[in-house]
Amino acid sequence: MLFILLVNVTVLVKKNNIIFGPVLSRRFGKSLGIDLSPSKKQCNFDCLYCELKPAKTVDSYSDILSIEDIITALKAALIKHQDIDVITLTANGEPTLYPYLNELIDEIDKIKGDIKTLILSNGATIDKTEVQKALLKLDTVKLSLDCANMQCLKKLDRPSKNIDIENIKRGMLAFKEIYNGALIIEILFVKDINDDIQNILGLNEYLLRLQPSRIDIGSIDRPPAYDVKGLQYEELLMLSKKFDKSLPIYIVSRKNIPKSPQSYSDNEILATLNNRPLTGDDMEILFDDETMIRVKKLLSSAKLKKIEKEGIVFYTLT
Protein backbone atom coordinates (compact mmCIF):
# COMPACT_ATOMS: atom_id res chain seq x y z
CA MET A 1 0.00 0.00 0.00
CA LEU A 2 2.79 2.36 0.98
CA PHE A 3 4.59 1.35 -2.21
CA ILE A 4 1.47 2.15 -4.31
CA LEU A 5 1.19 5.49 -2.57
CA LEU A 6 4.85 6.29 -3.25
CA VAL A 7 4.51 5.29 -6.91
CA ASN A 8 1.47 7.56 -7.26
CA VAL A 9 3.29 10.46 -5.66
CA THR A 10 6.21 9.95 -8.09
CA VAL A 11 3.86 9.96 -11.08
CA LEU A 12 2.26 13.16 -9.80
CA VAL A 13 5.63 14.88 -9.40
CA LYS A 14 6.60 13.91 -12.96
CA LYS A 15 3.33 15.18 -14.40
CA ASN A 16 3.59 18.45 -12.53
CA ASN A 17 7.06 19.07 -13.94
CA ILE A 18 6.35 18.42 -17.61
CA ILE A 19 5.67 22.07 -18.45
CA PHE A 20 7.90 24.93 -17.34
CA GLY A 21 7.87 28.66 -17.96
CA PRO A 22 6.81 30.83 -19.58
CA VAL A 23 10.37 32.06 -20.05
CA LEU A 24 11.02 35.33 -21.84
CA SER A 25 13.75 35.02 -24.45
CA ARG A 26 15.14 37.87 -26.55
CA ARG A 27 15.59 35.47 -29.41
CA PHE A 28 12.39 33.46 -29.32
CA GLY A 29 9.88 35.56 -27.37
CA LYS A 30 7.65 34.09 -24.65
CA SER A 31 8.40 30.39 -24.49
CA LEU A 32 6.57 27.55 -22.79
CA GLY A 33 8.91 24.60 -22.25
CA ILE A 34 8.08 20.90 -22.38
CA ASP A 35 10.48 18.71 -20.42
CA LEU A 36 10.37 15.24 -21.98
CA SER A 37 12.38 13.73 -19.13
CA PRO A 38 11.25 15.46 -15.94
CA SER A 39 12.06 12.59 -13.55
CA LYS A 40 15.80 12.21 -14.20
CA LYS A 41 18.66 12.96 -16.60
CA GLN A 42 18.42 10.75 -19.69
CA CYS A 43 21.08 11.76 -22.19
CA ASN A 44 23.40 10.24 -24.78
CA PHE A 45 26.06 12.81 -23.79
CA ASP A 46 27.62 13.54 -20.41
CA CYS A 47 29.04 16.98 -21.15
CA LEU A 48 31.67 18.45 -18.85
CA TYR A 49 29.69 21.72 -18.79
CA CYS A 50 26.24 20.20 -18.17
CA GLU A 51 24.06 22.07 -15.71
CA LEU A 52 22.71 18.73 -14.50
CA LYS A 53 24.66 16.30 -12.35
CA PRO A 54 26.96 13.82 -14.13
CA ALA A 55 25.11 10.70 -15.29
CA LYS A 56 25.87 7.56 -17.27
CA THR A 57 24.91 8.02 -20.90
CA VAL A 58 21.91 6.20 -22.35
CA ASP A 59 20.85 5.58 -25.95
CA SER A 60 17.14 5.39 -25.15
CA TYR A 61 14.75 6.55 -22.42
CA SER A 62 13.81 4.07 -19.69
CA ASP A 63 11.47 6.51 -17.99
CA ILE A 64 8.91 7.49 -20.63
CA LEU A 65 6.01 9.94 -20.36
CA SER A 66 2.82 9.16 -22.26
CA ILE A 67 1.80 11.52 -25.06
CA GLU A 68 -1.54 11.89 -23.30
CA ASP A 69 0.08 13.20 -20.10
CA ILE A 70 2.18 15.70 -22.04
CA ILE A 71 -0.74 16.99 -24.09
CA THR A 72 -2.99 17.26 -21.02
CA ALA A 73 -0.32 19.32 -19.23
CA LEU A 74 0.27 21.47 -22.32
CA LYS A 75 -3.44 22.16 -22.83
CA ALA A 76 -3.77 23.32 -19.22
CA ALA A 77 -0.71 25.59 -19.55
CA LEU A 78 -1.96 27.10 -22.82
CA ILE A 79 -5.28 27.97 -21.17
CA LYS A 80 -3.41 29.67 -18.33
CA HIS A 81 -0.91 31.48 -20.58
CA GLN A 82 -2.61 32.83 -23.68
CA ASP A 83 0.27 34.92 -25.06
CA ILE A 84 2.85 32.25 -25.82
CA ASP A 85 5.09 32.76 -28.88
CA VAL A 86 6.87 29.42 -28.92
CA ILE A 87 6.60 25.92 -27.48
CA THR A 88 10.08 24.58 -26.74
CA LEU A 89 10.76 20.84 -26.67
CA THR A 90 13.60 20.10 -24.32
CA ALA A 91 14.54 17.63 -21.58
CA ASN A 92 16.64 16.84 -18.58
CA GLY A 93 18.84 15.20 -21.16
CA GLU A 94 18.32 14.77 -24.89
CA PRO A 95 14.74 15.33 -26.17
CA THR A 96 15.17 13.39 -29.43
CA LEU A 97 15.58 10.20 -27.39
CA TYR A 98 11.89 10.47 -26.45
CA PRO A 99 10.50 7.49 -28.39
CA TYR A 100 7.18 9.06 -29.47
CA LEU A 101 8.58 12.41 -30.60
CA ASN A 102 7.07 12.28 -34.09
CA GLU A 103 3.56 11.46 -32.81
CA LEU A 104 3.89 14.01 -30.01
CA ILE A 105 4.70 16.81 -32.47
CA ASP A 106 1.60 15.86 -34.50
CA GLU A 107 -0.52 16.13 -31.35
CA ILE A 108 1.05 19.48 -30.41
CA ASP A 109 0.34 20.78 -33.92
CA LYS A 110 -3.37 19.98 -33.44
CA ILE A 111 -3.71 22.28 -30.41
CA LYS A 112 -1.04 24.98 -30.72
CA GLY A 113 -2.78 27.37 -33.12
CA ASP A 114 -0.23 29.78 -34.58
CA ILE A 115 2.35 29.30 -31.79
CA LYS A 116 5.77 28.38 -33.19
CA THR A 117 7.64 25.22 -32.21
CA LEU A 118 11.31 24.78 -31.34
CA ILE A 119 13.55 21.93 -30.18
CA LEU A 120 16.85 22.21 -28.31
CA SER A 121 18.89 19.12 -29.11
CA ASN A 122 22.52 18.07 -28.71
CA GLY A 123 22.42 16.98 -32.37
CA ALA A 124 23.77 13.48 -31.74
CA THR A 125 20.78 11.71 -33.31
CA ILE A 126 20.33 13.96 -36.35
CA ASP A 127 21.64 11.21 -38.66
CA LYS A 128 18.60 9.05 -37.76
CA THR A 129 15.82 9.10 -40.36
CA GLU A 130 13.04 8.97 -37.76
CA VAL A 131 14.51 11.96 -35.88
CA GLN A 132 14.83 14.00 -39.09
CA LYS A 133 11.22 13.11 -39.98
CA ALA A 134 9.98 14.47 -36.64
CA LEU A 135 12.16 17.60 -36.61
CA LEU A 136 11.06 18.57 -40.14
CA LYS A 137 7.68 19.52 -38.64
CA LEU A 138 9.15 22.14 -36.28
CA ASP A 139 9.61 25.84 -37.04
CA THR A 140 13.07 26.05 -35.48
CA VAL A 141 15.63 23.33 -34.79
CA LYS A 142 18.57 24.23 -32.60
CA LEU A 143 21.41 21.70 -32.58
CA SER A 144 24.65 21.76 -30.61
CA LEU A 145 28.01 21.30 -32.29
CA ASP A 146 30.89 21.94 -29.91
CA CYS A 147 33.52 19.94 -31.73
CA ALA A 148 34.74 19.33 -35.26
CA ASN A 149 36.50 16.08 -34.45
CA MET A 150 35.99 12.92 -32.41
CA GLN A 151 38.86 13.55 -30.01
CA CYS A 152 37.28 16.82 -28.90
CA LEU A 153 33.77 15.32 -28.73
CA LYS A 154 35.00 12.49 -26.49
CA LYS A 155 36.78 14.92 -24.19
CA LEU A 156 34.04 17.55 -23.90
CA ASP A 157 30.65 16.00 -24.63
CA ARG A 158 31.57 12.44 -23.60
CA PRO A 159 29.04 10.71 -25.89
CA SER A 160 27.72 7.18 -25.56
CA LYS A 161 29.92 4.76 -27.45
CA ASN A 162 27.94 4.45 -30.72
CA ILE A 163 28.00 8.17 -31.46
CA ASP A 164 30.40 9.39 -34.14
CA ILE A 165 31.09 13.03 -35.03
CA GLU A 166 31.25 12.28 -38.77
CA ASN A 167 27.74 10.78 -38.64
CA ILE A 168 26.50 13.86 -36.77
CA LYS A 169 28.04 16.19 -39.37
CA ARG A 170 26.67 14.14 -42.27
CA GLY A 171 23.26 14.04 -40.57
CA MET A 172 23.16 17.82 -40.13
CA LEU A 173 24.04 18.37 -43.81
CA ALA A 174 21.36 15.88 -44.92
CA PHE A 175 18.77 17.48 -42.63
CA LYS A 176 19.61 20.99 -43.86
CA GLU A 177 18.97 19.83 -47.44
CA ILE A 178 15.36 18.88 -46.69
CA TYR A 179 14.43 21.34 -43.92
CA ASN A 180 12.58 24.58 -44.63
CA GLY A 181 12.63 26.04 -41.10
CA ALA A 182 15.38 27.83 -39.19
CA LEU A 183 18.39 25.64 -38.36
CA ILE A 184 20.43 27.20 -35.55
CA ILE A 185 23.76 25.76 -34.44
CA GLU A 186 24.92 26.32 -30.88
CA ILE A 187 28.59 26.05 -29.90
CA LEU A 188 29.55 26.09 -26.25
CA PHE A 189 33.20 26.89 -25.64
CA VAL A 190 35.09 25.61 -22.60
CA LYS A 191 38.51 26.97 -21.73
CA ASP A 192 41.39 24.79 -22.93
CA ILE A 193 39.04 22.06 -24.13
CA ASN A 194 37.49 23.13 -27.45
CA ASP A 195 38.72 26.73 -27.90
CA ASP A 196 41.90 25.74 -29.76
CA ILE A 197 42.51 27.02 -33.28
CA GLN A 198 42.37 23.52 -34.80
CA ASN A 199 38.83 22.97 -33.54
CA ILE A 200 37.72 26.47 -34.54
CA LEU A 201 39.08 26.08 -38.07
CA GLY A 202 37.41 22.66 -38.33
CA LEU A 203 34.07 24.10 -37.17
CA ASN A 204 34.47 27.09 -39.49
CA GLU A 205 35.09 24.88 -42.53
CA TYR A 206 32.10 22.69 -41.70
CA LEU A 207 29.74 25.60 -40.95
CA LEU A 208 30.60 27.21 -44.28
CA ARG A 209 29.33 24.02 -45.92
CA LEU A 210 26.28 23.71 -43.65
CA GLN A 211 25.17 27.35 -43.93
CA PRO A 212 22.89 27.34 -40.85
CA SER A 213 20.40 30.15 -40.32
CA ARG A 214 22.41 31.38 -37.32
CA ILE A 215 25.28 30.27 -35.07
CA ASP A 216 25.04 30.98 -31.34
CA ILE A 217 28.29 30.85 -29.42
CA GLY A 218 28.43 30.86 -25.67
CA SER A 219 30.23 29.53 -22.65
CA ILE A 220 29.50 28.25 -19.17
CA ASP A 221 26.94 30.47 -17.44
CA ARG A 222 25.88 28.19 -14.58
CA PRO A 223 27.79 25.79 -12.28
CA PRO A 224 29.01 22.91 -14.47
CA ALA A 225 28.84 19.17 -13.75
CA TYR A 226 32.65 18.90 -13.79
CA ASP A 227 35.50 21.21 -12.83
CA VAL A 228 35.89 23.20 -16.06
CA LYS A 229 36.17 26.90 -16.82
CA GLY A 230 34.22 29.11 -19.18
CA LEU A 231 35.25 31.97 -21.45
CA GLN A 232 34.47 35.64 -20.84
CA TYR A 233 32.56 37.82 -23.32
CA GLU A 234 35.75 39.40 -24.70
CA GLU A 235 37.37 36.01 -25.24
CA LEU A 236 34.28 34.88 -27.16
CA LEU A 237 34.40 38.08 -29.21
CA MET A 238 38.06 37.41 -30.13
CA LEU A 239 37.26 33.83 -30.93
CA SER A 240 34.26 34.80 -33.10
CA LYS A 241 36.67 36.77 -35.31
CA LYS A 242 38.47 33.56 -36.24
CA PHE A 243 35.35 32.35 -38.08
CA ASP A 244 34.60 33.46 -41.62
CA LYS A 245 32.87 36.84 -41.48
CA SER A 246 30.02 35.62 -43.69
CA LEU A 247 28.83 33.33 -40.87
CA PRO A 248 26.03 34.88 -38.74
CA ILE A 249 27.55 34.44 -35.28
CA TYR A 250 25.66 35.63 -32.23
CA ILE A 251 27.48 35.77 -28.88
CA VAL A 252 25.02 34.49 -26.33
CA SER A 253 27.04 34.65 -23.10
CA ARG A 254 27.08 38.02 -21.40
CA LYS A 255 29.47 37.19 -18.54
CA ASN A 256 32.00 39.81 -17.45
CA ILE A 257 31.29 42.19 -20.26
CA PRO A 258 33.60 45.25 -20.51
CA LYS A 259 32.53 47.86 -17.96
CA SER A 260 32.51 50.98 -20.13
CA PRO A 261 31.55 51.23 -23.81
CA GLN A 262 34.16 52.97 -26.01
CA SER A 263 34.03 55.79 -28.53
CA TYR A 264 34.62 54.77 -32.18
CA SER A 265 35.05 57.13 -35.14
CA ASP A 266 33.19 56.46 -38.41
CA ASN A 267 36.26 54.77 -39.85
CA GLU A 268 36.74 52.65 -36.75
CA ILE A 269 33.09 51.55 -36.86
CA LEU A 270 33.44 50.59 -40.53
CA ALA A 271 36.72 48.76 -39.91
CA THR A 272 35.20 46.86 -36.97
CA LEU A 273 32.18 45.79 -38.98
CA ASN A 274 34.36 44.88 -41.94
CA ASN A 275 36.13 42.51 -39.60
CA ARG A 276 32.93 40.84 -38.44
CA PRO A 277 29.21 41.79 -38.41
CA LEU A 278 28.04 42.80 -34.93
CA THR A 279 24.64 42.35 -33.34
CA GLY A 280 22.74 45.14 -31.61
CA ASP A 281 23.63 43.42 -28.32
CA ASP A 282 27.35 43.53 -29.15
CA MET A 283 27.10 47.21 -30.04
CA GLU A 284 25.41 48.06 -26.75
CA ILE A 285 28.42 46.54 -24.98
CA LEU A 286 31.17 47.94 -27.16
CA PHE A 287 29.94 51.36 -28.37
CA ASP A 288 29.14 54.47 -26.30
CA ASP A 289 26.12 56.73 -26.98
CA GLU A 290 27.98 59.01 -29.40
CA THR A 291 29.18 56.02 -31.38
CA MET A 292 25.62 54.70 -31.60
CA ILE A 293 24.57 58.08 -33.10
CA ARG A 294 27.36 57.63 -35.69
CA VAL A 295 26.08 54.12 -36.42
CA LYS A 296 22.60 55.54 -37.08
CA LYS A 297 24.08 58.12 -39.48
CA LEU A 298 26.08 55.42 -41.30
CA LEU A 299 22.86 53.42 -41.61
CA SER A 300 20.93 56.37 -43.06
CA SER A 301 23.76 57.12 -45.52
CA ALA A 302 23.64 53.43 -46.58
CA LYS A 303 27.22 52.70 -45.55
CA LEU A 304 25.86 50.13 -43.12
CA LYS A 305 22.87 47.84 -43.31
CA LYS A 306 20.89 45.66 -40.93
CA ILE A 307 20.20 41.99 -41.59
CA GLU A 308 17.83 39.92 -39.46
CA LYS A 309 18.68 36.27 -38.75
CA GLU A 310 15.95 34.47 -36.83
CA GLY A 311 15.10 37.32 -34.49
CA ILE A 312 18.64 38.71 -34.13
CA VAL A 313 19.64 41.89 -35.97
CA PHE A 314 23.17 41.98 -37.40
CA TYR A 315 24.87 45.18 -38.56
CA THR A 316 27.21 44.87 -41.52
CA LEU A 317 28.78 46.86 -44.35
CA THR A 318 26.62 47.43 -47.45
> Is residue 304 near ligand SF4 by the rule CB under 6 A?
no
What whole-number distance in Å separates Cα of residue 312 and Cα of residue 248?
10
- Selected from 21, 27, 39, 52, the binder of ligand SF4 by CB under 6 A is 52
Binding residue count for ligand SF4, defined by CB under 6 A: 9
User: Does residue 46 bind ligand SF4 (CB under 6 A)?
Assistant: yes
Q: Are 74 and 13 in contact (CB under 8 A)?
A: no
Nearest to 148 by CA among 214, 206, 211, 213: 206
Q: What is the largest distance, in Å, between two alpha-carbon atoms of the chain?
A: 77
Distance CA 104, CA 99 (A): 9
Which of the stretches 5-13, 46-54, 280-288, 302-310 binds ligand SF4 when contact is defined by CB under 6 A? 46-54
Binding-site member from 43, 101, 108, 210 for ligand SF4 (CB under 6 A): 43
Give 84 or 215: the residue with its C-beta nearer to ligand SF4. 215
DSSP alpha helix (H) spans, the chain: 2-16, 67-80, 101-111, 129-135, 150-156, 165-178, 197-210, 233-240, 266-275, 280-286, 289-300
The site string for ligand SF4 over 81-120 (x = CB under 6 A, - otherwise) reads ------------xx--------------------------
* Using rule CB under 6 A, residue 71 touches ligand SF4: no
Number of Cβ atoms within 10 Å of the Cβ of 15: 16
Q: Does 47 bind ligand SF4 (CB under 6 A)?
A: yes
Question: 310: left (phi > 0), else alpha (psi -120 to 50), else beta?
Answer: left
Name the segment binding ligand SF4 (CB under 6 A); options: 17-25, 31-39, 44-52, 70-78: 44-52
Q: Is 217 in the site for ligand SF4 (CB under 6 A)?
A: no
Judged by CB under 6 A, the residue of 19, 50, 172, 273 near ligand SF4 is: 50
How far is it, in rounded angstroms, from Cα 229 to Cα 81? 38
Q: Which residues bind ligand SF4 (CB under 6 A)?
A: 43, 45-47, 50, 52, 93-94, 122
